């Protein structure tokens, strides 16, 4: 696997990035706050912690599990952790409201949101779902854009939950979830379903690692060493996803081993299949596209500069 072939290069990058840090007697503690319970789409971070990656470059990574009461952006902005993970659209909105946070790496090419519905051969596109009940994150940027762009204004919306009984009992329901997990959970529950991913509909929000402007300005060696260690963690996971299975399935029993394996296969095939030397790089055009989508539904002001929300210089070869 190509990811495995560049692990040595990632180690060298980490050593160069943190050369000054490595002179210290003890590595600098670095907390990374996750946005949900442990699961495969966070695997590179858990691998960085479990493998003690970055210690040679002077950082000691400690991953903090998320959950429904965790809000990574305000908590990192207030100093409760040095780094966090978030969706790029949420980071843009926070930046527009004055939060001094900035993405430094994209671990997901797109957040794997999907819309799942009962199997129906008559459904050929998202427009065929007009008039149905959608269980979604009410008021979320992606849903407002989707409703506007595909003219789904007639849809009835309800808050999404993890309870599948409503979906089971309503053949017209459409439910939001992650493509990595929700269709498999429904199949295991005996439900025949189909899905339409948000990425296929044109909404491609990165999943990102972010930190504060102050960290980038005052502790650039720590940021570079952390980014390099996380990149190595993702590559190690892609080369051997089974190594993390015991840890993550024990921490989160909603992800049994079989689901962990299917999610890992999809994640590696669809998110980690690009040029490994450029893993984590972010495209200015993609950020511009996402900002324009948010502006189209008035979530962002027209004059907002999306370039203030990310720093692409912390990974060698990514460019400005």
CATH of the domain at 221: 3.40.190.10
Rounded Cα–Cα distance for residues 89 and 93 (Å): 6
pLDDT value for 10: 45
Question: Would you tell me how many other CB atoms lie within 10 Å of the CB of residue 74?
Answer: 12
User: In which domain, by residue range, is 233 found?
Assistant: 2-111+205-309
Rounded Cα–Cα distance for residues 311 and 24 (Å): 27
Same domain assignment for residues 254 and 222: yes
Residue 320 included in any domain: no
Residue 58 included in any domain: yes
Least confident of 1-10, 69-78, 96-105, 309-318: 1-10
Rounded Cα–Cα distance for residues 31 and 303 (Å): 34
Tokens representing residue 17 in the block: 């990035």
Same domain assignment for residues 101 and 73: yes
Same domain assignment for residues 7 and 107: yes
More confident position, 6 or 130: 130
Angle between helices 220-239 and 43-50 (to 10 degrees): 100
Same domain assignment for residues 212 and 301: yes
Residue 189 included in any domain: yes
Q: Which residues of 247-264 are buried (b: 16+ CB within 10 A; e: fewer)?
A: ebbeebeebeeebbebbb
Question: Would you tell me how many other CB atoms lie within 10 Å of the CB of residue 202?
Answer: 12
Same domain assignment for residues 183 and 118: yes
First to last CA, the chain: 28
Same domain assignment for residues 161 and 291: no
Question: Would you tell me how many other CB atoms lie within 10 Å of the CB of residue 320?
Answer: 7
pLDDT value for 232: 97
Same domain assignment for residues 122 and 214: no
Same domain assignment for residues 218 and 86: yes
Angle between helices 88-96 and 141-149 (to 10 degrees): 100
Those residues whose C-beta lies under 8 Å from the C-beta of residue 161, and which sit 6 or more positions away, are: 135
pLDDT value for 2: 41
Quote the percentage of the chain above a pLDDT of 70.
Answer: 92
Residue that the structure tokens 């017209």 belong to: 172
Mean pLDDT throughout 168-179?
Answer: 96
Rounded Cα–Cα distance for residues 13 and 111 (Å): 27
Rounded Cα–Cα distance for residues 262 and 233 (Å): 20
Same domain assignment for residues 125 and 93: no
pLDDT value for 111: 97
Least confident of 2-6, 36-40, 65-69, 189-193: 2-6
Residue 137 included in any domain: yes
pLDDT value for 23: 53
Residue 319 included in any domain: no
Please say which residue of 161, 179, 201 terminates a domain: 201
Is the pLDDT reported for residue 152 higher than 60? yes
Same domain assignment for residues 210 and 304: yes
Same domain assignment for residues 240 and 169: no
CB distance 274 to 283 below 8 Å: no
Can you name the residues that pair with 135 across neighbouring β-strands?
Answer: 158, 175
Please say which residue of 148, 180, 201 terminates a domain: 201
Mean pLDDT throughout 277-291?
Answer: 96
Is the pLDDT reported for residue 184 higher than 50? yes
Please say which residue of 182, 201, 220 terminates a domain: 201
pLDDT for 122-147, tens place per residue? 999 999 999 999 999 998 999 999 99
pTM: 0.90
H-state helical runs in the chain: 2-5, 7-17, 43-50, 72-77, 88-96, 141-149, 165-169, 182-188, 213-218, 220-239, 245-251, 257-271, 284-296
Is the pLDDT reported for residue 265 higher than 80? yes
CA 37 to each of CA 65, 170, 175, 202, 257: distance values in angstroms, whole numbers, following the listed order? 6, 28, 20, 27, 15
Residue 315 included in any domain: no
pLDDT value for 25: 64
Computed on alpha carbons and rounded to an integer, the radius of gyration of the chain in Å comes to 20
Residue that the structure tokens 């809000």 belong to: 71
The count of domains in the chain is 2
pLDDT value for 13: 45
Mean pLDDT throughout 236-244?
Answer: 97
Residue 176 included in any domain: yes
- The band of 274, judged by pLDDT with boundaries at 50, 70 and 90, is confident
Angle between helices 284-296 and 141-149 (to 10 degrees): 70
Residue 316 included in any domain: no
- The mean of the pLDDT values for the chain is 92
Same domain assignment for residues 107 and 215: yes
pLDDT for 34-85, tens place per residue? 999 999 999 999 999 999 999 999 999 999 999 988 999 999 999 999 999 9
Rounded Cα–Cα distance for residues 51 and 71 (Å): 26
């Amino acid at each position: 696997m190509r990811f495995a072939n560049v692990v040595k290069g990632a180690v060298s990058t980490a050593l160069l990035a943190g050369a000054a840090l490595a002179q210290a007697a003890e590595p600098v503690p670095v907390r990374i706050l996750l946005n949900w319970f442990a699961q495969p789409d966070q695997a590179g971070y858990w691998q960085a912690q479990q493998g003690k990656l970055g210690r040679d470059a002077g950082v000691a990574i400690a991953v903090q599990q998320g959950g429904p009461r965790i809000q990574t952006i305000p908590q990192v902005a207030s100093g409760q952790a040095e780094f966090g993970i978030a969706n790029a659209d949420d980071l843009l909105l926070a930046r527009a409201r004055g939060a001094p946070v900035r993405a430094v790496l994209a671990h997901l090419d797109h957040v794997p949101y999907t819309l799942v519905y009962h199997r129906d051969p008559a459904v050929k596109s998202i427009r065929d779902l007009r008039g149905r009940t959608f269980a979604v994150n009410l008021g979320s940027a992606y849903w407002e854009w989707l409703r506007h762009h595909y003219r789904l204004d007639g849809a009835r919306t309800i808050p999404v939950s993890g309870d599948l009984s409503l979906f089971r009992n309503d053949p017209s329901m459409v439910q939001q979830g992650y493509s990595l997990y929700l269709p498999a959970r429904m199949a295991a529950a005996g439900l025949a379903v189909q899905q339409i991913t948000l990425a296929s509909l044109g909404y491609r929000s990165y999943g990102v690692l972010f930190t504060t402007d102050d960290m980038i300005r005052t502790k650039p060696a720590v940021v570079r060493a952390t980014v390099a260690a996380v990149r190595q963690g993702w590559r190690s996971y892609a080369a051997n996803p089974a190594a993390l299975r015991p840890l993550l399935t024990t921490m989160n029993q909603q992800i049994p081993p079989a689901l962990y394996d299917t999610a890992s296969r999809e994640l590696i095939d669809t998110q980690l299949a690009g040029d490994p030397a450029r893993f984590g790089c972010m495209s200015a055009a993609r950020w511009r596209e996402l900002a324009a989508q948010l502006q189209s539904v008035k979530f962002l002001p027209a004059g907002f500069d999306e370039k203030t929300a990310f720093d692409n210089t912390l990974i060698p070869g990514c460019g400005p």
